[in-house]
Amino acid sequence: MESKVRESRIKARIKHFLPFAVQKFLYGNIVKKARLLRIQLQGKITKEGIKKELQKAGLKKGDAVIVHSSLSRIGYIDGGAKALIDSFLDVIGSKGLLVMPAFSALHYDKKKKMYVFDVKKTPCYTGSVPETFRHMKNVFRSVSPTHSLIAKGKNAKWFAGGHEKCSSPYAGKSPFYRLYELDAKIFLIGVDQLANSSIHIVEDRYKKFPFKVWTKPNKVLVTFNNGSKKVIYARWHLPNLYRIRDNNMLEKHFLEENLMGIFPFFGTELRVIKARDVADCMERLAKKNITIYSTKG
């Protein structure tokens, strides 16, 4: 089946040839406005409508769920990002746990000669839905300069705690590993495996993972919510790995093993899979030397 959420080859080729400054100008002045107008013309999507579609895709009361999203691909939502977030919170209820990625770019402070990360102020690049969620009441943010997660709901404080002490962003006792332990559902709205960060759980969990993926520990000055500061040591992915990475080769395996459902979701697609199924399937593949870093599979 042709994926509805993958960037078209024509678009990718155009982007490849246009200088970044031209792309930025076109995006800010034409593409962005035209896109908003196009989705507004399609009519409004309501919170009640969203809740129905989420339930159809298997979301239940008490679920732990991580959501990766592209808001613009869904269509025009009455109430925007907040309405999408509230739909999830309403369905899972007070015993559920809603998680999103609040990943941020690395900031190196030349004067301090180390990286810096501010739990309250550092914005995330993972979209307007997590950026809106980040500012909501009772949302806890984990301390990782690259792979921070935000959570609200049952045991959210515990869930987000201790990330700064982990040997990698995905290590045991990290919030990502807790997604595995909680058997959390992954909801990919308008995005595919490129956005599915849980595909990296295996890289720490499977001790014989055939690729070296983590940098050495780097010094990071963290400013916590209460303003206090502390130096931590954090690893992240080696910088050149993205060149040889093909996350979407996993789709075939997830579908063949009946682990992932693809549901229509207004103007786009919704992919649903469990964190445990992702990690276990990837471990089985890694044992055969098939990883996202080698397109053998």
Residues within the interface to ligand COA (CB under 6 A): 32, 35-36, 39, 68-74, 76-77, 80, 101, 103, 126-129, 191, 195, 197
Q: How far is the CB of 72 from ligand COA (least distance, A)?
A: 3
Calpha distance 172→193 (Å, rounded): 22
SS3 assignment, position 292: coil
Nearer to ligand COA, 76 or 159 (CB): 76
129-to-23, 73, 144 alpha-carbon distances in Å? 23, 12, 19
DSSP state letters, 176-236: HHHHHHTT-EEEEES--TTS-GGGGHHHHHSTT-SS--B---EEEEEE-TTS-EEEEEE--
Q: How far is the CB of 112 from ligand COA (least distance, A)?
A: 26
Distance of CA 61 to the CA centre of its chain: 22
Nearer to ligand COA, 127 or 175 (CB): 127
| Orientation angle between helical segments 275-287 and 249-256, nearest 10 degrees | 110
E strand or H helix that includes residue 4: none
Nearer to ligand COA, 221 or 291 (CB): 291
Nearer to ligand COA, 50 or 221 (CB): 50
Q: How far is the CB of 68 from ligand COA (least distance, A)?
A: 3
Nearer to ligand COA, 101 or 169 (CB): 101
Name, in order, each residue with C-beta under 8 angstroms of 250's C-beta and a sequence gap of 6 or more.
193, 196, 199, 278, 281, 282, 292
Q: How far is the CB of 38 from ligand COA (least distance, A)?
A: 9
Nearer to ligand COA, 105 or 114 (CB): 105
Q: How far is the CB of 61 from ligand COA (least distance, A)?
A: 24
Radius of gyration of the chain (CA): 19
Q: How far is the CB of 148 from ligand COA (least distance, A)?
A: 11
Report the residue closest to ligand COA, judged by CB. Answer: 127
